[in-house]
């Protein structure tokens, strides 16, 4: 195996990059996959080298070849100046926010954020003297009116968790940059394969690698990529926290990287077919899938995204909680559980009204979120059709 030249790295198309980035023939001694380097101590050959601070690896918290391989690959995939890894997606969000904010600062946070992100704002950030204002994810350029003299960061998540509003990222980023505020985005739904964050004006982009990068529901990982303006600050903050991910999880994420694009494309295809099928069911009130033309933000999605993922929601026509439980409890292929982006299909019932303060969540019926996996689409439809029979039998 030859290592990729910098020219090849730049020239290769996405799928080839996913296969070849982050591999080094010398480090892996010819084996295709790099091993999971584990360790705290790294030895120095002599005192002079130790004092020179020139040795690449010095201690387990400051990086390993396995971590570097994934960080370098992710940097290229995200179109970033650099990237750092954290043990979970939520830890990555916390590090990004702590990189941009100090006591006395003001944060603009999308009302559609992943709920633990809100909890971090109301907990740690509040204690640290950072005030958060939540804004309507569909605010677009109207966000200008919410800026204060001390607004230092705007946080976006597009599409939003559970409710899937698409945000006008370039418009919000332009306004934030005119006021020297950092633009942070949780890009987990799209991944850089469907939304290159830095090309759209994002300074710090977060991806919960737990989802599509891992892809097999067996690891936790967070990635933060930065543009040139924010990389130094991010790297310093990340280093102060000393939170490398576990070696096994990084190894598995590197393995997930190789198949990420084909899994994501298949998830997109399956989710579109299932979303259309669900939309045609008499029990469904509405489908929330940004890649479907009747989604209110479909035009924005078409403008900025190159694809969709397998995560979407639906609103059922009004029906009792007992009927929804009867539908979900009997499903054979759809697992009931948190997280998403794995090979197995999942569903959860949700009500995000308690996690919204700038907008009102009143969808008109019970809400379900689907993460569509790799099972045969007709088997998935059969499973749900039997679920609707149970729902109707108890209605």
Ligand X SMILES: *Cc1c(COP(=O)(O)O)cnc(C)c1O
When CB distances to ligand X are compared, the closest residue is 89
CA 71 and chain centroid, separation = 15
Site mask for ligand X (CB under 6 A), range 134-153, x = bound: --------------------
CB of 27 to ligand X, least distance (A): 27
Instruction: Decide if residue 161 touches ligand X (CB under 6 A).
Output: yes
Segment contacting ligand X by CB under 6 A, of 77-85, 207-215, 271-279, 353-361: 207-215
Pairwise CA distance, residues 85 & 257, whole Å: 14
User: Are the C-beta atoms of residues 333 and 297 closer than 8 Å to each other?
Assistant: no
Please list every residue from 211 through 270 that binds ligand X, using CB under 6 A: 211, 220, 222
Q: Which two tokens stand for residue 97?
A: 């926010």
Instruction: Decide if residue 210 touches ligand X (CB under 6 A).
Output: yes
Q: Which two tokens stand for residue 352?
A: 């995000």
Residue 353: CB atoms within 10 Å:
12
Instruction: Decide if residue 89 touches ligand X (CB under 6 A).
Output: yes
DSSP 8-state secondary structure symbol assigned to residue 41? B
Site mask for ligand X (CB under 6 A), range 167-196, x = bound: -------------------x-x--------
Question: CB-wise, 223 or 327, nearer to ligand X?
Answer: 223
Segment contacting ligand X by CB under 6 A, of 26-34, 86-94, 167-175, 343-351: 86-94
Q: Which two tokens stand for residue 334?
A: 């759809």
Q: With 0-12 CB in 10 A as exposed, 13-18 as middle and 19+ as buried, what is 72?
A: middle
- In the beta sheet, which residues pair with residue 154? 108, 183
Helix axes 247-279, 377-394, angle to 10 degrees: 60
Question: CB-wise, 211 or 286, nearer to ligand X?
Answer: 211
Number of residues that bind ligand X (CB under 6 A): 14
CB of 186 to ligand X, least distance (A): 5
CB of 187 to ligand X, least distance (A): 9
Question: CB-wise, 301 or 326, nearer to ligand X?
Answer: 301
Site mask for ligand X (CB under 6 A), range 318-357, x = bound: ---------------------x------------------
Q: E-strand spans in the chain?
A: 82-86, 106-110, 131-135, 151-157, 182-186, 204-208, 222-226, 284-288, 311-316, 335-336, 346-350, 367-371
CB of 243 to ligand X, least distance (A): 12
Phi, psi (degrees; rounded to nearest 5) at 336: -100, 105
CB of 163 to ligand X, least distance (A): 12
Segment contacting ligand X by CB under 6 A, of 76-84, 165-173, 204-212, 245-253: 204-212
Pairwise CA distance, residues 296 & 315, whole Å: 14
Question: CB-wise, 267 or 319, nearer to ligand X?
Answer: 267
Question: CB-wise, 90 or 308, nearer to ligand X?
Answer: 90
If you search the block for the tokens 């740690």, which residue do you land on? 124
Question: CB-wise, 289 or 390, nearer to ligand X?
Answer: 289
What are the C-alpha distances in Å from 177 to residues 155, 180, 300?
Answer: 13, 5, 21
Instruction: Decide if residue 90 touches ligand X (CB under 6 A).
Output: yes
If you search the block for the tokens 């998935």, which residue do you land on? 380
Q: Which of 64, 66, 75, 88 binds ligand X (CB under 6 A)?
A: 88
What are the C-alpha distances in Å from 98 to residues 8, 35, 232, 355?
Answer: 36, 32, 13, 22
Question: CB-wise, 96 or 182, nearer to ligand X?
Answer: 96
User: Are the C-beta atoms of residues 14 and 193 closer than 8 Å to each other?
Assistant: yes
Helix (H, G, I), strand (E, B) or coil at 59: strand
Give the HSE-up count for residue 123: Cα atoms under 13 Å, Cβ half-sphere. 7
Please list every residue from 62 through 81 that binds ligand X, using CB under 6 A: none
CA 102 and chain centroid, separation = 24
Instruction: Decide if residue 114 touches ligand X (CB under 6 A).
Output: yes
Question: CB-wise, 186 or 261, nearer to ligand X?
Answer: 186
Segment contacting ligand X by CB under 6 A, of 4-12, 41-49, 59-67, 203-211: 203-211
Sites of contact with ligand X (CB under 6 A): 88-90, 114, 157, 161, 186, 188, 208, 210-211, 220, 222, 339
């Amino acid at each position: 195996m030859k290592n990729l030249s910098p020219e090849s790295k730049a020239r290769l198309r996405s799928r080839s990059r996913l296969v070849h980035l982050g591999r080094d023939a010398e480090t892996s001694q010819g084996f295709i996959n790099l091993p999971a380097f584990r360790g705290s101590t790294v030895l120095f050959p002599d005192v002079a080298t130790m004092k020179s601070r020139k040795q690449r690896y010095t201690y387990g918290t400051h990086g390993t070849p396995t971590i570097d391989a994934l960080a370098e690959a992710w940097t290229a995939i995200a179109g970033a100046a650099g990237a750092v890894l954290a043990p979970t997606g939520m830890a990555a969000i916390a590090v990004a926010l702590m990189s941009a904010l100090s006591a006395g600062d003001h944060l603009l946070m999308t009302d559609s954020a992943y709920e633990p992100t809100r909890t971090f704002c109301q907990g740690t950030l509040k204690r640290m003297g950072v005030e958060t204002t939540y804004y309507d994810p569909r605010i677009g350029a109207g966000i200008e009116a919410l800026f204060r003299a001390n607004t230092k960061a705007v946080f976006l998540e597009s599409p939003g968790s559970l409710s899937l509003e698409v945000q006008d990222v370039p418009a919000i980023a332009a306004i934030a940059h005119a006021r020297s505020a950092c633009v942070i985005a949780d890009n987990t739904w799209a991944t850089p394969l469907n939304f290159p964050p830095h090309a759209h004006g994002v300074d710090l982009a977060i991806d919960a690698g737990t989802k599509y990068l891992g892809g097999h529901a067996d690891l936790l990982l967070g990635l933060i990529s930065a543009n040139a303006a924010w990389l130094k600050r991010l790297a310093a903050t990340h280093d102060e926290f000393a939170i490398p991910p576990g070696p096994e999880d990084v190894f598995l994420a590197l393995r997930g990287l190789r198949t990420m694009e084909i899994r994501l494309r298949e998830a997109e295809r399956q989710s579109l077919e299932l979303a259309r099928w669900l939309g045609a069911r008499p029990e469904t009130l509405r489908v929330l899938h940004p890649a479907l033309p009747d989604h209110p933000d479909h035009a924005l999605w078409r403008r900025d995204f190159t694809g969709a993922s397998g995560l979407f929601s639906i609103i059922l026509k009004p029906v009792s909680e007992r009927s929804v439980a009867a539908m979900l409890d009997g499903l054979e292929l759809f697992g009931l559980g948190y997280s998403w982006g794995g090979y197995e299909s999942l569903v959860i019932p949700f009500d995000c009204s308690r996690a919204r303060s700038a907008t009102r969540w009143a969808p008109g019926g019970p809400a379900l979120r689907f993460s569509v996996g790799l099972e045969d689409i007709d088997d998935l439809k059969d499973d749900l059709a039997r679920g609707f029979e149970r729902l109707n039998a108890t209605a």
